[in-house]
Chain A
């Protein structure tokens, strides 16, 4: 499974670019530490990356850049907001995705990863026309604005549920909480984080305070009125009291998701088991 490499200097970036074979799908993620959605995007991306096996030559290459620190690179790729994803193959930008929609990011990556076919060396620009907007292939029209904080007006319920369906699967264990593991904004969320940490669970999290669409949509999608919500393998386990009871009844309840299993690094900031 692939992992995301954090690149911290322009020269490292150039060197990396130069090293890529022409068939590799190059996934560049631009982030900024002050933008809350970027942490979530990091989780989504590392989960996606882990689904692509490391091959020789590499089918995919995943890098993450701090957009402000590497401002020249940001400018080169026209990064106007964060989080921002750029998909490149053979030096050609295939598509960019602005904003924090996990659905769009996944769709774009899957589309272009698939388009590589069996990695024929002479694959040129035939794969897809260069687009600088998000993938238009979603069924329902979404009047999306492409600003970094992904303020989508009038997103249809279908779109929201599609987004949620992917989000709950962004990691094998997903915690939808108020705040973040390092800064929980609610006692129950804090306790949930502590339980996950005590059980050394590897998990992804989503701060529902930062995204009202998810906050309200997930209540309906899950038919569950409160947060925190713990999802395992795409299914709702429940809130804090349920998780406590499950563990009480079965201390091995979360053992399959523990970091104590042979875990490869999944890139920066995936799931914090230490807050």
Chain B
């Protein structure tokens, strides 16, 4: 079994899937867009900046900060770790919201 090149992404995927059983989960690694930024100069990780799109009924009845906090809690260790997740962009939808949005053009 070969070791993964993307351990952080794998971890995000497994934790989110386990806790939120999302109907949609997209994980985008945007680290390369920030690699040249000064705060990242000392970093050797290629997994520092992530953008997640998650659709899950676990978000129902929760306002945006609460939804984000749910994910922060899941990824707490990875975010606190030195060299771990530096930035996290989150788009969180309930299945109903996603359906409603389905009619609209995709966001740039």
Q: Which residues of A contact B (CB under 8 A)?
A: 186-188, 223-226, 236-242, 245-246, 248
A186–B48 alpha-carbon span in the complex (Å): 14
A186–B79 alpha-carbon span in the complex (Å): 18
- Looking at B6-14, B19-27, B83-91, the stretch in contact with chain A turns out to be B83-91
Cross-chain contact of A242 among B37, B65, B80 (Cβ < 8 A): B65
With A241-B89, A241-B90 in contact, is A246–B64 under 8 Å at CB?
Answer: yes
- The reply to whether the CB of B46 lies closer than 8 angstroms to some CB of chain A is no
| Interface 0/1 of B71-82, CB less than 8 Å to A | 010000001100
Q: Are B89 and A237 in contact (CB under 8 A)?
A: no
Q: Which residues of B contact A225 (CB under 8 A)?
A: 72, 79-80
Q: Which residues of B contact A223 (CB under 8 A)?
A: 69
With A224-B72, A225-B72 in contact, is A236–B87 under 8 Å at CB?
Answer: no
Q: Which residues of B contact A239 (CB under 8 A)?
A: 68
With A223-B69, A237-B65 in contact, is A245–B87 under 8 Å at CB?
Answer: no
Q: Are B64 and A245 in contact (CB under 8 A)?
A: yes
Q: Which residues of A contact B69 (CB under 8 A)?
A: 223-224
Q: Are B34 and A242 in contact (CB under 8 A)?
A: no
Q: Which residues of B contact A236 (CB under 8 A)?
A: 65
| Interface 0/1 of B40-71, CB less than 8 Å to A | 00000000000000000000000011001100
Smallest CB separation, B23 vs chain A (Å) = 19
Q: Are A188 and B87 in contact (CB under 8 A)?
A: yes
Q: Which residues of A contact B37 (CB under 8 A)?
A: 186-187
10 cross-chain CB contacts under 8 A:
A186-B37, A187-B34, A187-B37, A224-B65, A224-B68, A237-B65, A238-B68, A241-B90, A246-B64, A248-B107
10 additional A-B residue pairs with CB within 8 Å, beyond A224-B69, A225-B80:
A186-B37, A187-B34, A236-B65, A238-B64, A238-B68, A241-B68, A241-B91, A242-B64, A242-B68, A248-B107
A236–B69 alpha-carbon span in the complex (Å): 12
Q: Which residues of A contact B79 (CB under 8 A)?
A: 225
Q: Which residues of B contact A238 (CB under 8 A)?
A: 64-65, 68
Q: Which residues of A contact B107 (CB under 8 A)?
A: 248
Nearest A residue (CB) for B88: A226
A223–B90 alpha-carbon span in the complex (Å): 16
A34–B34 alpha-carbon span in the complex (Å): 29
- A-B interface, 8 closest residue pairs, ranked by CB to CB distance from nearest: A242-B64, A238-B65, A241-B89, A225-B79, A225-B72, A241-B90, A238-B64, A236-B65
Q: Which residues of A contact B39 (CB under 8 A)?
A: 186
